[in-house]
Structure 1
């Protein structure tokens, strides 16, 4: 029977419980291009949203319940 060496670990068994992260999103509609969505934490200043957090075309985002 094969067994893993001592230095091989299964990270899934040792990982701590994942923290809960609250995020919000805002969609900006453009008449001359695709709508853009920005995802950010609720306490993020408005000026930091576009330079610090994720912004992408709205079509790149999907509803997580649809993907499960």
Structure 2
């Protein structure tokens, strides 16, 4: 990919959010937000306790402005 680089704010690259909900069945998740200066911020959700190798194929990313709080969607 030529010319596809984007600048991001590396201070928030490590910004993570644990989305553990004891009332929700399933595996605990971690949300990682990358804030870009020249485009929409991105949120990547991955299982909290997976290995680095598993993390390469077990993730979901979306523009942060497209996500809604689950309580607002019910």
Among 35, 38, 42, the alignment partner of 1:32 is: 38
Q: Which has the higher strand share?
A: 2
Compute the TM-score of the two structures, normalised by the length of structure 1.
0.57
SS at match of 2:36: coil
Matched, 1:41 2:43: no
Q: Give 1 or 2: higher helix fraction.
A: 1
Normalising by structure 2, report the TM-score: 0.53
How many residue pairs were aligned? 50
Where structure 1 has 5 or more consecutive residues not aligned to the other structure, the ranges are 1-18
Alignment of 1:1-68 (within 5 A): 20-21=25-26, 22-45=28-51, 49=55, 51-68=57-74
Q: 1:47 to 1:31 in 2, by over 3 A?
A: farther
